[in-house]
Amino acid sequence: MLDQALSQKLRQIVGENYYRDDREALVAHSYDGTPMLQSLPDGVIYPDNTQQVAEIIKHLAEHRVPVVTRGSGTNLSGGTVPVHGGVVMVMHRMNRILDIDLQNLTATVQPGILTGDFITHIESLGLFYPPDPSSMRISTIGGNIAECSGGLRGLKYGTTKDYVIGLEAVLASGEIIRTGGKLMKDVAGYDLTKLLVGSEGTLAVITEATLKLVPPPKSKKTMIAMYKDLYGAARTVSRIIEAKMIPATLEFMDNPTIRVVDDYAKLGLKRDMDAILLIEQDGDPEAVERDIERIREICESEKADQIEVAKNQEHAEKLLTARRSAFTALARLRPTTILEDATVPRSQIAEMVLRINEIAQKYNVTIATFGHAGDGNLHPTATTDARDADEIHRVELAFEEIFEAAIELGGTITGEHGVGMVKAPYLEWKIGKTGIEIMRGIKQAFDPHNLLNPGKMFANESRKRVVLNRA
């Protein structure tokens, strides 16, 4: 519980209804989308504007109380779990679109707006904002920026960082800074905009963002290819890129995923397939036709067992169902679903999938893999039960080895979920000791008292996940 005077002050800033420290509010803000993590904050606050955020942060800093900023809490790396207690700051009330500039093709928004709502609005104006994390119907733009979210369109269009061109943020001291702006070119000093994107709430609280918009593609075509040989699928991915084509979407499912999806969605998939690729191209109709035709030829020459090109929108939806069902099908197998995001150079996909399967076998755990083949971003997904301590331990060991394998193959420990708490013990594997030192230095410069989302990104000793034992 916070000091009486401080909580009184916080209530004054936001109003009686928007600071809560009752048990209900604390429990409901003790978790996010990450399995098995939970920790109670001391209070929950809902600011309405930047000035309030600045004042809140000033008072919290004076009392050295940590603050965890969050949107809908859909993230999967424990990034918004208040492990050090303190105040959870929910940004939902700051959800306005402040400006849409059709001459510069930019949108300026508050962080609490739901990404899906934002995209719907932008599309109604005939424009396009490409980052499309799977959680976009509920996740917020602020959360997407903090975690630098990816999505299915990442390969061709890039991820959140490629669309944030200006920010307003509140520093740990309570001061307000502005970075970038409605500018396509800007090299005035270090790029603080890019630094804040993906900083997971550890450097500043983002209170406003200016986003780049682009014209939407004119048409889209969908196809699916199934392979008995994993390497055939992997080579297809490499050869498409080699042929200088960048599909809008290039998704992958391995054999364990295919089986589970077929059990669940009854799509009549061939269960002896080692891999399925789902490919979409968008752009000018003629270019799309040409690309899809060439991709089909590549699939054929790599001995795809079956290839289907969607004849119309309805057929395309049917082909997409397999990939879309993957998460749901896996989530229903066992009570606890741990979805990771190990990423490798796309030329190493086949190797990585084989390594994952070997590791799963070694530790006697179930791990199915699907993901974004085009950008090498794989989602090895363990289906397990949080109550089975022994199995959970084996799952943890397996993932440790999977991250190790990813690094070995020239990849990374996280492609789109962020480091948070879950990957913190492995960050050094990726960036090295010097890398950690320089990052700690940056953190120190922004937040000398370690009050902004402490316990994230940089690990102490522990490699274990915090498991809440049933009382």
Partner 1 sequence: MAKSLHLKLDYDQLTNCMRCGFCLPACPTYRETGVEPESPRGRIALMKAVADGIMDPDLAFQKQMNHCLGCRACEPVCPADVKYGQLIEQARDAIEDHANHSVSVNGIRKLVFQGIFPHRKRLKWLGRSLFFYQKSGLRKVVRGSGVMRLFPQHLSEMERILPEATARGVVERLGTFYPAKGETIARVAFFRGCIMDVLFSETNVNTVKLLSEAGFEVVIPNEQACCGALHAHSGEMELAKQLARTNLKVFKEAGVEYIVSNAGGCGALLVEYDHLLREDPEYHELAKWFASRVIDVSLLVLEHGRIPEFAQANTDSSEPLTITYQDSCHLRNVMKSSSAPRQLMRQVANVRFIEMKESDRCCGSAGIYNVTQPQMSGQLLEHKMEHANRTGAKYLLSSNPGCLLQMKLGIHRSGVSEQMEAKHVVDFLYERIVETPQPSDGTT
Interface with partner 1 (CB under 8 A): 22-25, 27-35, 40, 72-74, 90, 92-93, 114, 116, 135, 137-139, 327-328, 331-332, 335-337, 385-387, 468, 470-471
Q: Considering the complex, state which of residue 243 and residue 389 has its C-beta at the smaller distance from partner 1.
A: 389
Q: Considering the complex, state which of residue 120 and residue 301 has its C-beta at the smaller distance from partner 1.
A: 120
CB of 24 vs partner 1, minimal distance in Å: 5
CB of 5 vs partner 1, minimal distance in Å: 25
3-state secondary structure at position 208? strand
Q: Considering the complex, state which of residue 18 and residue 231 has its C-beta at the smaller distance from partner 1.
A: 18
Neighbours of 468 (CB within 10 A): 12
DSSP state of 217: P
CB of 31 vs partner 1, minimal distance in Å: 6
DSSP letters spanning 246-299: --SEEEEEEHHHHHHHHHHH-----TT-SEEEEEEEEESHHHHHHHHHHHHHHH
Q: Considering the complex, state which of residue 33 and residue 380 has its C-beta at the smaller distance from partner 1.
A: 33
What CA–CA distances, in Å, run from 189 to 193, 194, 426, 435?
A: 11, 12, 31, 21
What span, in angstroms and rounded, lies between the C-alpha atoms of 283 and 455? 44
Phi, psi of 3 (to 5 degrees): -50, 135
Q: Considering the complex, state which of residue 98 and residue 468 has its C-beta at the smaller distance from partner 1.
A: 468
CB of 421 vs partner 1, minimal distance in Å: 15
Q: What residue type is 147 in one-letter code?
A: E
99 beta partners: 108
3-state secondary structure at position 383? strand
Give which of 73, 48, 43 is closest to 60, Cα–Cα. Answer: 43
What span, in angstroms and rounded, lies between the C-alpha atoms of 378 and 354? 12
CB of 159 vs partner 1, minimal distance in Å: 20
Q: Considering the complex, state which of residue 387 and residue 440 has its C-beta at the smaller distance from partner 1.
A: 387
3-state secondary structure at position 172? coil
452 beta partners: 67
Structure tokens at 108: 């300026």
Give which of 205, 189, 198, 213 is closest to 49, Cα–Cα. Answer: 205
Q: Considering the complex, state which of residue 217 and residue 256 has its C-beta at the smaller distance from partner 1.
A: 256
Q: What residue type is 371 in one-letter code?
A: G
CB of 107 vs partner 1, minimal distance in Å: 21
Q: Considering the complex, state which of residue 290 and residue 318 has its C-beta at the smaller distance from partner 1.
A: 318
CB of 157 vs partner 1, minimal distance in Å: 24
What CA–CA distances, in Å, run from 141 to 71, 133, 200, 216, 400?
A: 8, 10, 13, 19, 31
What span, in angstroms and rounded, lies between the C-alpha atoms of 156 and 100? 24
CB of 189 vs partner 1, minimal distance in Å: 37
Q: Considering the complex, state which of residue 328 and residue 361 has its C-beta at the smaller distance from partner 1.
A: 328
Q: Considering the complex, state which of residue 75 and residue 343 has its C-beta at the smaller distance from partner 1.
A: 75
Structure tokens at 113: 């707006």
CB of 384 vs partner 1, minimal distance in Å: 11
Would strands 377-384 and 336-339 be described as parallel, antiparallel, or unpaired? antiparallel
CB of 392 vs partner 1, minimal distance in Å: 12
Q: Considering the complex, state which of residue 74 and residue 193 has its C-beta at the smaller distance from partner 1.
A: 74
Residues 100 and 107: beta-carbon distance below 8 Å: yes
Q: What residue type is 338 in one-letter code?
A: I
CB of 264 vs partner 1, minimal distance in Å: 10
